[in-house]
């Protein structure tokens, strides 16, 4: 089924930057689209971003568009989320997840999840 391990979460000041990483194991990383989902303290789940197997296609929630960049290095089995211009409302646990697979391509539901990494934006 596979495993995912996020890292890079930290306390950062408003306006600051941070890069999250997600290492994958137990499945062929280069065959699957990948996703970032976040959860603010005491709140529900929020889709953040998704990326295709090659990295050619990406999409973002409106709340992070223009501030966050998603990328991947298939040779390193690693997914990234670069975050700039961070705001207090970006405070959350960030989960990395593996997308499902349909007959003709990826389907953006999440069938494997990491344990999450915590980002706190505060002065």
Q: Is 44 in the site for another protein (CB under 8 A)?
A: yes
φ, ψ for residue 122, nearest 5 deg: -160, 150
Residue 44 beta carbon to another protein: minimum distance, rounded to whole angstroms: 5
Q: Is 80 in the site for another protein (CB under 8 A)?
A: no
Angle among Cα 3, 9, 38 to the nearest 5 degrees reads 70
> Residue 12 or 37: which CB sits closer to another protein?
37
Number of residues in the chain = 123
Distances (CA, A) of 2 to 5, 63, 70: 10, 29, 21
Which of 7-15, 42-50, 71-79, 80-88 is the region at the interface with another protein (rule: CB under 8 A)? 42-50
Summarize as ranges the residues that interact with another protein (CB under 8 A): 1, 37, 44-47, 50, 59-62, 95, 100, 107-111, 113-116
């Amino acid at each position: 089924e596979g495993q995912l391990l996020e890292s890079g979460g930290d306390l950062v000041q408003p306006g600051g930057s941070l890069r999250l990483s997600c290492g994958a194991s137990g499945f062929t990383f280069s065959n699957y689209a990948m996703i970032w989902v976040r959860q603010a303290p005491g709140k529900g789940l929020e889709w953040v971003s998704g990326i295709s197997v090659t990295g050619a296609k990406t999409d973002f929630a409106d709340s992070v568009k223009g501030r966050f960049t998603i990328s991947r290095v298939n040779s390193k089995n690693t997914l990234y989320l670069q975050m700039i211009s961070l705001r207090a409302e970006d405070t959350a646990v960030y989960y990395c997840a593996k997308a499902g697979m349909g007959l003709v391509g990826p389907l953006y539901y999440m069938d494997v999840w990491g344990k999450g990494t915590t980002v706190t934006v505060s002065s």
